[in-house]
A and B are shown apart, each in its own frame.
Chain A
Amino acid sequence: MRFLAKNFLRFGPRQKTISLIIWLAISPLIIVCFVPVDLFAQLKGPNIIFILTDDHRWDAMSSMGHPFIRTPNLDRLADEGILFENAFVTTSLCSPSRASFLTGQYPHRHGVMTNHTPWDNHNTTFLELLKESGYETAFIGKWHMPGKGLPKLRGLDHFISFTKEGGQGIYYSCPLIIDGVETERKGQYITEDLTDFALKFIEKKRDTPFCLYLSHKAVHFGFRPPPHLKGIYKDVDLKLPPESDTWITYTNNNPFVGALFPMNILYRGYCETVASVDEQLGRLIQKLEDLNILDNTVIIYAGDNGHFWGEHGLYDKRLAYEESIRIPFIVRYPGLIKDPGRRAPQMILNIDLAPTLLDIVGLDIPSNIQGMSLKPILQSAHAPGRNSWLYEHFPVFPIPIPGITAIRTRRYKYVEYQNDARPKELFDLKTDPREMNNIIDTSVGKRIAEELKKEMENLKKETGYEFHRRG
């Protein structure tokens, strides 16, 4: 450098001008050669991958202490990111919850209140907003919202989904609608098939960041793992709760009452199907690593609702008990998370996904979004979470479970049922985490219930809650 500077001073005016032009011409090349490629990627904004599974409850993974399910890839995400230990859905049902993830709104606001009330295409999804800001977007997997076929969703570059069996799909040979073209997928196992499409999308050469919404059919009913994982948990002690039905013959107004349906066989299938999802997640992470874009990608993994496996003598979801409303929620993004491996105790909701992603990318959060950005919690363990939130469930034909409204605070849960079809419930989650003792009739319970009732009314007003019976 000293040599160049010394000689530069000896140059005449013409030579100086020429050498200056040469410097200006070659300096970008020098920068390109010596500055890490990732830095450019950072300037463009991170890639986003959101993985949504079906009915995956919060504790069905080894990092949440499950007694036998092994999920090394989910564990890796948690170790390298943040695992939210108190993540919930505002409605524990597939379609409403899915629409909430996409819009950041409660079901009574976005309109998909049950699995039968159609998606309103006037809704704005975070994918649409990301697309407007320059992202390449793809929705791959389960859409499962009512309406005629798939909607013409705005803001999508690729839309790969299925409508088989009311949008639930099937585990094997599920026909896919690939950008509008129905395609047979003979012999394909759906979790693997969808992951293959996701990998193709990720590895595509592009100048813009991408946002991938990968939505699995697994681990919904059917519970079919791929052949190589079938039977991996056949000899384990399932450790179902003591009050569990051995047969899903429910005594709690369930339409399957009286039908033989061994709980243990279903549960083993469920656990093996979770293992399959984890395996495919591993392929996805590996691809990001191979492409050297892992650390510039926000990865979020979540479930659309929980699932009962015998708790309270129940199976399925919908009710406001913890097993039904709690979901796995993991975020990995080294660009923001400086203390990887943290367990976040703050209460977060499915409606927080959309504002979080918009916030991370630096976009304004529209005022009609009802969730809150998790960016402050990702950045700091001390960021405050919410104190309480509203749970809602609308009656779904033909399931004989009444409409439900509930409020969950950090310590208590208060539950009301449509037409008082069931007694009101109050649980102290600190002393009774399994919600086995309804304390509503105790003197303390009465006082707390009154306070929570008021708080619930406030939340109803705040969120514009209205009860809907149809659907």
Chain B
Amino acid sequence: MRKQPFFRRVIFPIILVMGVMILSVNLYDVSRHIENRTLHLILSNGSAIFMFISIWLGAFFANTIAFFRGATFRERLLVCVATPVVWCAKILYGCWGLYSVGEFLFLFLHHFIIGCPLVALLCMGISEIWCRIIARKKTGDISLKVFALSNTSLLLISLTTVFLMLWNGGHSYYYLYMDAYTKLFL
């Protein structure tokens, strides 16, 4: 892929996904105060879907854009986790001061916190497959492996961790996490 300038290959996909997130979060907040029921439902449902997609699945889009604009693997990693990390920072900010510093740090392992960038990495791992297949077809470059070491290991690691976290509807991980919390802090 031809390497485009840093702004176009890295900053643009980040801004795009994060912009959708910021817009949809605010729209969702505003929709609650709209008295017209139909408009409220359209806005809240629409913005909720975009909020979910941008936070949890945004890496599909961000990675695809960054890939075809020539971003390196490390740059694509950054592009994919940027929005989830900002989102998690927002959530964590709301918890600051409620618990001890140790408890606050332990909060990072909560599946809604650590799970968010992990799902983004899984999305990246999946999108890498189609990006590489398309790129091979477009460029005819057969040296570009669909399952290279970097993206395959990323896919396997993220898939395994996300699968384990979601096992039993997420209950197993949650209770393991809370057991660890009890042992460490109480």
Q: Do A and B bind each other?
A: yes
Point out residues on A near B: beta carbons under 8 Å: 116-118, 146, 165-166, 242-243, 245-247, 249, 251, 253, 255-260, 313, 395, 397-398, 400, 402, 418-419, 421, 469-471
Give Cα A166 to B91, complex, Å.
25
Residues of B within 8 A of A255 (CB): 91, 110, 112-113
Q: List 24 A-B contacts (CB under 8 A).
A: A116-B182, A116-B186, A117-B186, A146-B182, A242-B37, A243-B33, A245-B48, A247-B45, A247-B48, A249-B51, A249-B52, A251-B25, A251-B32, A258-B52, A258-B55, A258-B87, A395-B99, A397-B107, A398-B107, A419-B97, A421-B98, A470-B185, A470-B186, A471-B186
In the complex with contacts A117-B186, A418-B98, A246-B44 CB distance below 8 A: yes
Q: How far is the CA of A313 from the CA of B48 in the complex (A)?
A: 14
Give Cα distance in the complex from A166 to B112, angstroms: 19
Chain B nearest Cβ from A262, distance in angstroms: 9
Q: How does the 8 Å CB contact mask read for B49-72 relative to A, with 1 for contact and 0 for none? A: 101100110000000000000000
Those 5 A-B pairs whose CB atoms lie nearest each other, nearest first = A253-B94, A247-B48, A258-B55, A400-B95, A400-B94
Give Cα distance in the complex from A249 to B91, angstroms: 12
B8 lies within 8 A of chain A by Cβ: no
> For residue A242, which residues in chain B have a CB less than 8 angstroms away from its CB?
35, 37, 40
Determine the chain A residues whose CB is within 8 A of the CB of B179 once the complex forms. 166
Chain A residues closer than 8 Å to B52, beta-carbon distance:
247, 249, 258-260
Given A255-B91, A258-B51, A258-B56, check contact A245 B44 (CB 8 Å).
yes
Partner of A165, one of B51, B94, B171: B171
Which of B91, B175, B186 touches A118 (beta carbons < 8 Å)?
A: B186
Residue on B with the closest CB to A401?
A: B98
B178 at the interface (CB under 8 A from A): yes
Question: 5 extra interchain contacts, Cβ-Cβ under 8 A, other than A255-B113, A256-B112, A260-B52?
Answer: A253-B95, A400-B94, A400-B98, A418-B98, A470-B186
- Which residue from A116, A249, A253 sits with its C-beta under 8 Å from B48? A249
Cβ of B171 to closest chain A Cβ, rounded Å: 6
Report the bound CA distance from A247 to B47 in whole Å.
10
Q: Among A118, A246, A253, which residue has the most Cβ atoms of chain B within 10 A? A: A246
Q: Which of B44, B49, B91 contacts A400 (CB 8 A)?
A: B91
Q: How far is the CA of A149 from the CA of B91 in the complex (A)?
A: 33
Inter-chain CA distance A400–B112, complex, in Å, is 13
Does A313 contact B97, Cβ atoms closer than 8 Å? no
* In the complex with contacts A245-B44, A258-B87, A116-B35 CB distance below 8 A: no
Q: Mark B104-122, 1 if CB is under 8 A from A, else 0.
A: 0011001011001000000
By a CB distance below 8 angstroms, the chain A residues around B29 are 251
B186 touches A243 (CB 8 A): no
Of the candidates A118, A246, A421, A471, the one whose C-beta lies within 8 Å of that of B41 is: A246
> What is the chain A residue whose CB lies nearest that of B45?
A246
Q: Smallest CB–CB gap between B112 and chain A, Å?
A: 5
Tell me how far the C-beta of A365 lies from the nearest C-beta in chain B, rounded to whole angstroms. Answer: 32
Nearest residue, chain A, Cβ from B48: A247
Residues of A contacting B97 with CB < 8 Å? 419, 421
Bound CA span A247–B48, Å: 7
Contacting pair B48 A402 (CB below 8 A)? no
CA–CA, A398 and B95, complex, Å = 8
Cα(A245)–Cα(B41), bound, Å = 9
Give the docked Cα–Cα distance between A165 and B174 (Å): 9
**Cβ–Cβ < 8 Å partners of A471 in chain B:** 186
* Residues A257 and B91 in contact in the complex (CB < 8 Å), given A165-B171, A246-B44, A398-B107: yes
Nearest opposing residue in chain A for B84, CB measure: A258
Q: How far is the CB of A239 from chain B (nearest CB, A)?
A: 12
CA distance A90 to B108 in the complex (A): 31
Question: How many Å lie between the Cα of A118 and that of B186 in the bound state?
Answer: 9
Most chain A beta-carbon neighbours within 10 Å: one of B37, B41, B95? B95
> Which residues in A have their C-beta under 8 angstroms from that of B6?
none
Contact B182 A246 (CB under 8 A): no
In the complex, what distance in Å separates the CA atom of A258 from the CA atom of B53?
9
Contact A166-B185, Cβ < 8 Å, known A255-B112, A258-B56: no
- B163 contacts the other chain (CB 8 A): no
Least Cβ–Cβ distance between B4 and chain A, in angstroms: 30
Which residues of chain B come closer than 8 Å to A470, judged between CB atoms? 100, 185-186
Closest Cβ of chain B to A403, distance in Å, is 8
Known A165-B171, A166-B175, A419-B97: A397·B185 in contact at CB below 8 Å: yes
Q: Is B141 an interface residue (CB 8 A)?
A: no
Quote the shortest CB–CB distance from B109 to chain A (angstroms): 9
- In the complex, chain A residues whose CB is within 8 Å of the CB of B49: 260
Residue of A nearest to B53 (CB): A260
Evaluate contact between B99 and A397: CB separation under 8 angstroms.
yes
CA distance A423 to B98 in the complex (A): 15
* Chain B residue with the shortest CB-CB distance to A313: B32
Cβ–Cβ < 8 Å partners of A251 in chain B: 25, 28-29, 32
Nearest CB of chain B from residue A99's CB, rounded to whole Å: 16
